[in-house]
Amino acid sequence: MEFFRDTNIDFLGKKWYFLAFSLIFSVAGVLSMLFWHHIPLGVDFRGGTIVQVKFTSAPNADQIRSLMDKAGLRDSRIQTYGPAANNEVLISLPLSETSEAALDKGKLAILRALSGAAPEGKLDLNNTDVQALQADLLEKDPLHLGTDAAQRYAQIAQALVDQRDKKLGGVLHSFDELKGAAPEPVLQRLQSDFYLSNFAERGGSIVGPQVGAQLRRQALLATLYSLAGMLVYLAFRFEWIYGVAAVVACFHDTLITVGAFSLANKEISLTVIAAILTLVGYSMNDTIVVFDRIRENLKLLRRERMEDIVNKSINQTLSRTILTSGLTFLTVLSLFLFGGEVLHGFSFALVIGILIGTYSSIAVAAPMLVAYQNWRVQRSGRGPMPGGGGRRAQENGPTREASSGKDAGNREKIRARA
């Protein structure tokens, strides 16, 4: 299947536009990382407590931030979570301790900051668990059950919590929503002993700072090792300049993707690192396809200029590039739109990365080869760089090269007949 045939787009003639595009997005990302949102590392890497909170109405990030600041939690991070209709946010705090007590301490600090001034002597029914509810009913005994009340009140408390969490989405707007879940005397007692805040805690987790630092180091090393491995492979498979151009293009893709996370203030978690490593492999594969065609054409079109050879190579692989990248992009776009909050960061990195990776194989890596060729000729007066094959091709000498050229010529004839 082929979308484009016999295209003759002058990609190299637009290299300055490509350079401007890359500079704008790279510089914007770097400035955001340095002066605005910085690198928004998730709790996986920073270490700390993260609490998921659901509100009765659309949460206002500025108001939440103001409440956190008043409570002295100035290092907290606030991020919307899930669809807007769910009214949920994630609030994270950096912590220096790693115990369960530290988790509870962080949770309580956030909940106290959100609660503000609670009514005297009353508990918040939106943030009360089964045990606390049962204990209050046992103490007040609104049904006058006497000494055998424990099991009955445990059932009532569980029914009330299930009504709140499973049927009403985890947060109550009024006490009337509990009608039918418990006898009327119990509901009247609840209105005397409890009040309803405008939020409910829906979960929490903790990551120690040492674990976070270790994960940061491992993520950085994994990215650097993958780039170094690809550089070695390409230097052996082609020529070292091909490897350098491909690694620069991959670094360009990674920089813009991380910059996009900083600009959008989206947290970089372990799944995002997995997506970035996937992106490195995808971008490298796309670049190798273009380089492979350039190498073939260098042997076939010895009398043509390097710019013309690169342009022709990109045009010859354009249909394959659009088809492969387009289908992959549709897949990750579906994942981004319908994959849910857990995969949101992962799919966002791939959506950005596939677009930038496809672009860089055409607009960054290939022009670097031409720039190197021009520099090489001007500096030393040497001819065009070899067609590739690395050391093995050079060791095999002109016989193999001639044979390869003949084979390539035959392949060109076969393609022309097709």
Say what the pLDDT of residue 393 is: 42
Q: C-alpha distances in angstroms, 22 versus 18, 176, 256, 357?
A: 6, 58, 8, 12
Q: What is the DSSP string of 120-189?
A: TT-EEGGG--HHHHHHHHHHH-TT--GGGHHHHHHHHHHHHHHIIIIISTT--S-GGGGBTTB-HHHHHH
Say what the pLDDT of residue 36 is: 85
Say what the pLDDT of residue 333 is: 92
Smallest Cα–Cα separation from 268: which of 350, 354, 345?
Answer: 345
125 close to 69: Cβ distance less than 8 angstroms = no
Say what the pLDDT of residue 397 is: 42
- HEC string of 306-324? HHHHHHHHHHHHHHHHHHH
Tell me the β-bridge partners of 81.
88
Smallest Cα–Cα separation from 365: which of 200, 238, 187, 175?
Answer: 238
The Cα–Cα gap between 73 and 77 comes to 9
Say what the pLDDT of residue 31 is: 93
Say what the pLDDT of residue 46 is: 72
Q: What share of the chain is helix, strand, coil (3-state, %, to 5)?
A: 70, 10, 20
Q: Tens-digit pLDDT profile for the chain (418 aa)?
A: 666 677 888 998 898 999 999 999 999 999 999 998 888 887 777 777 788 889 988 888 888 888 888 888 777 778 777 778 888 888 887 765 656 666 677 778 888 888 877 787 788 888 888 898 889 888 888 888 876 788 888 989 999 999 998 888 888 888 889 888 889 898 888 888 898 888 888 877 776 666 667 777 877 888 788 878 877 887 777 788 888 888 888 889 989 999 999 998 888 887 888 888 888 888 888 888 888 899 889 888 888 888 899 999 999 998 888 888 899 999 999 988 888 767 888 899 999 999 999 999 888 988 888 888 888 888 776 555 554 444 444 444 444 444 444 444 445 444 444 3
Say what the pLDDT of residue 385 is: 56
Rg for the chain, CA atoms, rounded: 31
- Name the strand (E) or helix (H) holding 112: helix 100-115
The Cα–Cα gap between 210 and 196 comes to 38
Helices (H) and strands (E) in the chain, counts: 14, 6
243 close to 234: Cβ distance less than 8 angstroms = yes
Output the furthest CA–CA distance in the chain (Å, rounded). Answer: 102
Residue type, 68: M
The Cα–Cα gap between 45 and 58 comes to 29
Phi and psi at residue 385, to the nearest 5°: -70, 155
The encoded tokens of residue 74 equal: 């100035």
Say what the pLDDT of residue 418 is: 37
